[in-house]
Structure 1
């Protein structure tokens, strides 16, 4: 999740971070390379339009000085372990798998993984955009829920693609190892992002965002 700095009762948002700019580069490069379908590109283009619509109609900014971070500056122990683990499974390993596939000439074999990674980068960029542009807390929380819900379908497609690959005696040891690694990564990604949506975003993150937006005080 994006962060900000509170000074003198107001929040200083600054410019997009290096992470968001890197995500933007992926959003531009992947469709140009032919690794992303039109429907995924259309979903990404539709998301800022819908976010702007929600911000005007349903969740306008009530107080511009409000920090949109749901958990504040003090992150608890669970999140301090969960965020790096999510980055490893969701970002680091998939991009390594995709880059290795490109270098190995297996562009077709990584298309399913590339679709998921493209949407994840789109999510990272949109999270940074809603933070730095000063959208309300519900909008800031809506973006990961919106994208995570869509990405689960791309992960299922990715898992099907990996399971459809044949492992036989004709494959080299490295090629067979790559197939098994792709399958394990797709399974791990499905488990991770299903838990992220149904075990964290919906029951924990989103309710807290609405409580902060509508002014409810949490029980001590």
Structure 2
């Protein structure tokens, strides 16, 4: 799972596959086309979260509408503003596997998805309706982001579009994280949000997510990843 930190694991892994398939000519192109035609296991997991949260009524109509409209808007931008400039997909921003980046992605998955999902499931058992209601939008939008990142890669969209998705969704999720933190702070203890332990854990998890995703947006995506993606895109355009 990319976790929405900008450069997806799929982008990194693509380079390894290209190197392994180097020199195979048309067979390589055929394999790439086949691979892009299917949803990955990561995307299927994200899609399952989206369906479950939507069907259970954990997320509001505004978040559902945002996800649907973002899908339409992304493909609109891919045709009007940032079309694919060649017959082959744009090269990834980071051409080689990076262990630090992989650890960063894994940490994003744990703090952004796995722990909040566990928190929500525990809330179902303890009857913490307010905690579930506050945390669910972030999890839903992050799962939607992961699915969209994989979809833009599988569809072979341009690099700026692939960079736009995490920036777009990360910006939206910051507002949901503020609401989540506000909800946790307003709890007064056992009875309003489950056990006292759950109240403190919920506050710590909300603060950790808010801090991490603010850094991800303002410290990585906007100043580093997005400029590199645009530079590669327009640099490639100048060579045509």
Runs of 5+ in structure 1 lacking a partner?
A: none
User: How high is the TM-score relative to the length of structure 2?
Assistant: 0.82
Query: 2: distance between equivalents of 1:134 and 1:80?
Result: 22
1:90-127 Cα offsets, whole Å, 9 max, x none, are 11111111111123332332111011000000000000
Query: 1: distance between equivalents of 2:207 and 2:80?
Result: 38
Query: 1: distance between equivalents of 2:156 and 2:208?
Result: 34
Contact 2:134/2:180 (8 A) holds in 1: yes
Query: 1: distance between equivalents of 2:97 and 2:218?
Result: 20
Contact 1:68/1:131 (8 A) holds in 2: no
Contact 2:90/2:233 (8 A) holds in 1: no
Query: 1: distance between equivalents of 2:48 and 2:192?
Result: 34
Counterpart residue number, 1:178: 198
How well do the aligned residues superpose, as a CA RMSD in angstroms?
2.0
Q: In structure 2, do the counterparts of structure 1 residues 80 and 109 end up closer, same or farther at CA, with 3 Å as the change threshold?
A: closer
Select the residue among 61, 64, 69 that pairs with 2:92. Answer: 69
1:27-176 equivalences under 5 Å are 27-72=50-95, 74-167=96-189, 175-176=195-196
Point out 4+ residue stretches in structure 1 off by more than 6 angstroms.
none
Counterpart residue number, 2:221: 201
SS in structure 2 opposite 1:35? coil
Query: 1: distance between equivalents of 2:192 and 2:134?
Result: 21
